Structure 1
Amino acid sequence: MNDRYSGTQITLHWLSALLVICTLSLPYAQDLVADLLGGTGGVFTLHKSLGLTILLLTVLRLLVRARQGTPRLLADHARWQHTAAKLGHGVLYVLLLAMPLSGLLFGKRPVEMFWLVTIDPLPVSDATRALARQFHLTAKYLLFALILGHACMALWHHYGLRDGVLRAMLPRR
């Protein structure tokens, strides 16, 4: 069993991380970037485009993970750490899939994917739209917390335990 993730897995992880940070930041930074993107509508066009890109990347990441597996990095750790790591990653993946889908569900206007392709709104009831909107707006806080926890755990493994977990997800030098 390898002690590192593959180059494909590493690239997809860091690309996803960058896109998630950008996507989560856009609504908060709209005053700073709206003029660059043609107004508030442009900010949300980019936000939705990045969200759908994250959805596609997450599906690809899961397919690559299923095919290539993961390194056995926590072999010497307690069982609860394995369980916590699996649970944390599982919830992160669920949110990376559910957030863009809920965004699609609650939108009433077509989504212009990077101003190139138009995706019509999904035909759902107003109650479903309201539920999807509430989920989307609430789940972002859970996503913030999970990202912070994920980063803290990676740093704890690297600087506290010195066990190679973070190195396994960093590009080779």
Structure 2
Amino acid sequence: MNDRYSSAQIGLHWLTAVLVLCTIFLPYGQDLVADWLGGTGGVFTLHKSLGLTILLLTVLRLLVRSVHGAPHLLADNAVWQRRAAKAGHLVLYLLLLLMPLSGLLFGRKPVELFWLVQIDPLPLSDGARALARQFHLTAKYLLFILILGHAGIALWHHYRLRDGVLRAMLPRRN
């Protein structure tokens, strides 16, 4: 039984984590970075570009996971804990897919992917755009909670239970 995630899964996890944190930070820290990015428009160009990158990385993560699976680290835990872990991961993956899509859908202007490629907005009704925008703005709070919970539970496993769950997602030490 494998007790670690594959190197590809570990790399994709941590790359996604860093990009998610950067994406979350950008709208809140725009005063700090707007000058470097050519103004507020540049902040949101980067925010949207990172969001779409997260979408692609999440699809890739799911493909890699379908090939490599996941270690059976919680086999000795209570059924409710295993179910809670599965549910938490499912909601995290759904948000990593739906947040970028909803952000893309509510915009009326083309999205510039890293200032290189322009993606035209879809022809949606005002109601559909409003729904996508409301989902995006509301779901960010659920994402905040899940990220904090995910990190907190990983630390609880590492420091309290000492069961190797966090070590399974850390790069190997040589």
Moved over 2 A (4+): none
For residues 78 and 67 of structure 1, what CA distance do their matches in structure 2 show? 26
SS in 1 for 2:27: coil
The 2-side partners of 1:23 and 1:164 are apart by: 29
The residue aligned with 2:169 is 169
Distance, in Å, in 2 between the alignment partners of 1:115 and 1:90 is 32
1:108 aligns with 2:104: no
Deviations 1:8-28 (A, max 9, x none): 000000000000000011000
Shift of 1:123: 1.1
2:81 match = 81
Q: What is the rounded CA distance, in whole Å, between the counterparts of 1:122 and 1:25 in structure 2?
A: 27
Question: How many Å separate the matches in 1 of 2:9 and 2:50?
Answer: 19
Q: Matched residues in 2 for 1:75 and 1:100: separation?
A: 33
Matches within 5 A, 1:14-163: 14-163=14-163
3-state SS, counterpart of residue 65 of structure 2: helix
CA distance in 2, matches of 1:144, 1:75: 28
Deviation at 1:122, TM superposition (A): 1.0
Aligned partner letter, 1:6: S
State how many pairs are aligned: 173
CA drift of 1:147 comes to 0.1
Q: SS where residue 112 of structure 2 aligns?
A: strand
Aligned to 1:5: 5
Structure 1 counterpart of 2:45, one-letter code: T
2:44 maps to a residue whose letter is F
TM-score where L is the length of structure 1:
0.99
Secondary structure, aligned partner of 2:164:
coil
Deviation at 1:39, TM superposition (A): 0.2
Quote how far apart the aligned CAs of 1:149 are.
0.1
Q: Distance in 2 between matches of 1:14 and 1:88?
A: 17
TM-score normalized with structure 2 length: 0.99
Q: Which runs of 5+ in 1 are unaligned?
A: none
Q: Does the residue aligned with 2:123 lie in a helix, a strand or coil?
A: coil
User: d(CA) in 2 for partners of 1:122 and 1:57?
Assistant: 22
Alignment RMSD (CA, Å)? 0.4
Mapped to 2, the partners of 1:122 and 1:21 lie a distance apart of 27
Aligned-partner Cα distance in 1 for 2:156–2:122: 43
Paired with 1:30 and 1:48, the residues of 2 have a C-alpha distance of 13
